[in-house]
Structure formats: structure tokens, C-alpha cells
Homo-oligomer: A and B are copies of this chain.
Amino acid sequence: MKLALAQINPTVGDFSGNTRKIIDFAKEAAGRGAELVLFPELAVCGYPPADFLEKDAFLLQAQRSVLEIATATKEISAAVLCGSVTPSPQAEGKRVHNTAVLMAHGRILMEQHKMLLPFYDVFDEQRYFEPAAGQQIFSLDGQPLAITICEDAWNDKEFWRSRRYQMDPIASLMQGAPDAAPLLVNISASPYWQGKRQLRAEMLSALAQRYRTTVALVNQVGGNDSLIFDGSSMVIGPDGQVIAQARSFAEDLMIVDTAASIPVPVDVAPAEEEIAATYDALVLGTRDYVRKCGFSKALVALSGGIDSALVAAIAVDALGKDNVMGIGMPSQYSSQGSVDDSRSLAEHLGIHYEVMPIRDIFERAMTALQPLFAGSPSGLAEENLQSRIRGVLMMALSNKFSSLVLTTGNKSEMSTGYCTLYGDMVGALAVIGDVFKTRVYQLSHYVNREREVIPTATLTKPPSAELRPDQKDTDSLPPYEVLDPILEAYVERYGSAEQIAFSQQLDIELVSSVLKLVERSEYKRQQAAPVLKVTRKSFGTGRRFPIAVKVQV
């Protein structure tokens, strides 16, 4: 069978745009000989629609779009399988299904609802969807199809050590299949994290071999708020070899003859090696967030440090150099080197660079506070004040020039609270909020792989917030090579202080002091800009902790 995998980048709620895109891709695929064109999960409305699924008007638009696509198939020589939300006929339970709709010749041929509804990390699907009551093999012009949706394929008992659900939709479908093994189709909206592409390929390969059949997975691509969908759609032969793989982090239309079986080289890598993919993910996430919010320009506060340098480089690749402006806001504690490094960076990137010293404003603010501050030693209040004045100036420029501010805090800072709420945390998107500092260095070296974009001085000087004389990050925190593994174990894997101290051979007091910082700064994270997710566990909707608590660490 000649399959098309239409890896599209929908915008949540943009029914007319998404529908037009689906029809255009279907026509193009049919023109290139495809018999069946696959679109991602919920392609009609974009994933994740979240609580829009609770609005009648939204559901009505989804139904209209499906009918529009079905009608369009009158003029298209291929069948179309597309994800949408559909009403549940039951009086009890959730009101809608997450559905794969098969259309051809102007009609809806069948609907298969999703059976396994993920409800962990960033996924809330049981909040909205009623699961399928059953499944069926559908024969399209003599080709049996086993149609599943994303999570339905993620519960094989031989692949996973522990399983989230008791039932396995793939096993059930395959048990009920006729003699000829059906083509296993999976339409997905599967977000990226480091290592996810490799895991996905291994899992699909195991399924293909287990059921001796061809597996085709089409995945959404594009950034929607915090989530970055990598695409990387693929077709795997019955021997478990990848016979076709679509692009990662870009739209694609891939036509595959399932009778062919020549393996192709696979573009996946283990999590720890995924530097280029992480960079591409951040570029796509930044571009789509800015664009889908209706903007084209961004501002980055350049401190001379590595975090803001990396964010500026990502912004330039996402939006183009003419759409990015760097702002330097030195105080009396800023070194001349920092100002020079920022200027060099801006020159290397080809972006506009402006300097606005904050010293005068800081002094006026201190004068206003003088009646209340008199006699108290300078400390955190004064340090944060500098950072917050910078935030105020950035937002003034944002308002004036309709540019989004990109925040530059990394995951090590967000974890420990080594960042200023309403100060350096000001902005529309936390571009590297899911990237630990040690990884920031790796990504920065990747940026410099061909030429010096980020100045060498920025890469080599010791990290400093420059909010008081001779300040270094290591005054307040352990070195990042020690800190980051502790944070990864606690923030991403929920290890205890004892487990971390034991496995990393560290002093328990040191570990506990770090974990306390994490617990104490939850209030900052809850007011942070959306964080682009590139790890299994990022700050944001996938990590839900209360603030007013008393916990032991």
C-alpha cells in the first residue's frame, strides 16, 4: 500500500488554518500516488487543546472541520485518516472522544476512539475524554488496518518493565485480526524530550517484530506553549527495521510504499548525546511560541553571561537576526568585560544591541526606599532591586516595540531559586528553563561548532550574577558539575536526600541544603514564563507541587 505520512504543524484552535492545511497536504499526497494519508492525533484542533475541549463552540468547530475534510475527499483520490475530537453518545462520563476519523469519497468510513488516555506528567487526557468502548480492524480496499492513537501503542507488556494500564489495545486488535496481519497505524501527538525519539523507534520496532507487520506512526510537529512536538514520523517493516523516517522539528510529507523494505539510516541518539536535537527543539519551540502568539520580534537582556548568549543564538535561528534585539543594562557591579562580551556576541549574531545603564534608576529607587531602609545592611533586597529594574526596562521596550521578551534563566537556577522573580524571570517564554547549566555549556559549544558566535570569554569566565562586588555563583551554590546531578536526581527523578547522597557519594548535608533550596523556591516557578520542555520532567504543567507546605527533605 502506498501510504502518506502528513507531519503537519497545526495551531491550537485555528480550525480554518488547520483544515486548509490538512486538505492541501492530502491533495499533494494523492497527487504523488498515495492511497491513504495519515494525519496526527487531534490534527483538526491542534494538540493539546486543554480546557477548550470543555467549550461547546470549540467542539462544534471540530465537527464542522471534519465534515469539510470529508467533503473535500470527494475530489481526492486517497483516503484520509485524521485525528479530531468527537462527541460521546453516552449520558454518563466525559462528553467527548479523542478519535481517528477515516474519510474517503466524500464520506466518513469509520471512527476509532482512543482507548488509553494518558494522565501523568503533562498529560491530562482523562480530564476530557471518554475512552473507546471497543476497537475493530477496518479493511480499506482490501488492506486491513489496525488503527490506534498515540498512547494506545505504549503499553506492550514485553517492552515495558511496568505498565500504566491493564489492557493493551494493540494486543487486543491483533488477536481479533484476520489471517493477514493488518497494517498497524498510529496517529500521535508525542512531545519531544531528550531520548524520546530513540525510545519511540525501539518500541515501534518491538511491536513490528512481535506482530510481524508494518507499523506506521505519524506524529505532530511544532511548538505549542511548553511542548515541542518533534515529528520524526516513521514506518517500520515486519523485521523491525525503519524503512522511512520523516524530518525532525519540521513539517514533512513522506510517501512510503509499505511493500518496500530497504532500511534507512535512523536519526536518533541516546539522551545524553542529543545536543543538536535539543538545540533544534529549542529553536522550533521559540519560533512557534512567538509566531503563534502573533508576534515576530524578540528581546533578550544580554548580561555577558552564557545563558543570555545561548538564548540570543537560539532566538536568531528561530526568528532571524533582524527580529532580535539585545539589551545590555550594566550596573555599578557589572564588569567592563561583560559589556564587551555582550557587544561581541551581538556583532557575531548580527543583531541590534542597545545599552541602558541602570545606575541612576537604582539610586533613585534607593532614595525612595531610604526612609524605610535606613540603617539596614545592603543585601538581597538591593541585589534583587537591580534585577527588577532591568525587568521593568525590558517590559517597557516590549510594550513599545511589540516584541516578546525571552527569559534567560536555566534549569539549575530555576531549581534552586537562584533567579529574581519579576527581575531576570520577566518574559514571555523561558527558552532554556529546562536546560541545566552544564548542558547550557554543551549547547553553547554546539553553537560555536563552526565559528565563534558566543565569545570565548563568555564560555570561560566563572558564572556570576554580578549583583554585588566580585560575586560568583559558587558563593551561594556548589559548582555546577556537583549541583546539576543532584538537581537532576531530585527534580526529575524524585530521589530522596539519602538516595542521592548515597548514589552520588556526597555529603548528606550538602545534598539536603540543595533540596531545601528547591522546595523553598516553588513560588517563583509558579509565576515563571512557560518553560520549553526538553527533558522527561520539566517545570510547568507536568510538575505540580503546592507552595504553602511543610516538607522534610
- The list of the 7 closest CB pairs from A to B, nearest first, reads A292-B548, A381-B399, A13-B551, A14-B550, A381-B400, A57-B496, A12-B549
For residue A361, CB closer than 8 A to chain B, the reply is: yes
In the bound assembly, the distance between CA atoms of A550 and B422 in angstroms comes to 28
Most B-side CB within 10 Å, residue of A361, A391, A399:
A361
Contact A397 B372 (CB under 8 A): yes
Any B CB within 8 A of the CB of A380:
yes
**Chain A 427-439 near chain B by CB (<8 Å), digits 1 or 0:** 0100000000000
Closest to A399 in B: B381
Nearest-CB residue, chain B, relative to A51: B544
Interface check A449, CB cutoff 8 A: no
Give Cα distance in the complex from A401 to B368, angstroms: 16
Which listed residue, B15, B422, B546, B549, touches A392 by the CB 8 Å rule? B422
Given the complex of chains A and B, what is the CA–CA distance between A545 and B58 in angstroms? 13
> How far is B101's CA from A408's CA once the two chains are assembled, in angstroms?
48
- List, in ascending order, chain B residues with CB within 8 A of A14's CB: 549-551
Q: List 30 A-B contacts (CB under 8 A).
A: A12-B549, A12-B550, A13-B549, A13-B552, A14-B549, A48-B546, A51-B544, A52-B545, A52-B551, A55-B494, A119-B119, A126-B126, A225-B548, A292-B550, A356-B372, A360-B368, A361-B364, A361-B368, A364-B364, A369-B396, A369-B397, A373-B396, A373-B400, A381-B396, A384-B395, A384-B396, A385-B396, A388-B395, A395-B422, A422-B422
* Docked CA distance A426–B543 (Å): 23
Q: Count chain B CB atoms within 10 A of each CB in A50, A399, A529 and give the residue with the most.
A: A399
B residues within 8 A CB of A368? 356-358, 360-361, 393
Are the C-beta atoms of A530 and B541 separated by less than 8 Å?
A: no
Please indicate the chain B residues that have their CB under 8 angstroms from the CB of A392 in the complex.
365, 385, 388-389, 391-392, 422
Of the residues B126, B380, B401, B530, contact of A399 by C-beta under 8 Å:
B380
Interface string of A365-383 (1 = CB under 8 A from B): 1011101110010011110
Asked if A462 lies at the interface with its beta carbon under 8 angstroms from chain B, I say no
The chain B residue with its CB closest to the CB of A542 is B51
Enumerate chain B residues within 8 angstroms of A17, measured Cβ to Cβ: 550
In the complex, residue of chain B having the shortest beta-carbon distance to the beta carbon of A548: B292
A526 interfacial by beta-carbon distance below 8 Å: yes
Instruction: Check if A528 is an interface residue, CB within 8 A of chain B.
Output: yes
The stretch among A145-153, A159-167, A170-178, A248-256 that forms the contact with chain B is A159-167
Q: Is A224 part of the binding interface, using a Cβ–Cβ cutoff of 8 Å?
A: yes
| Alpha-carbon distance between A22 and B91 when the two chains are bound, in angstroms | 41
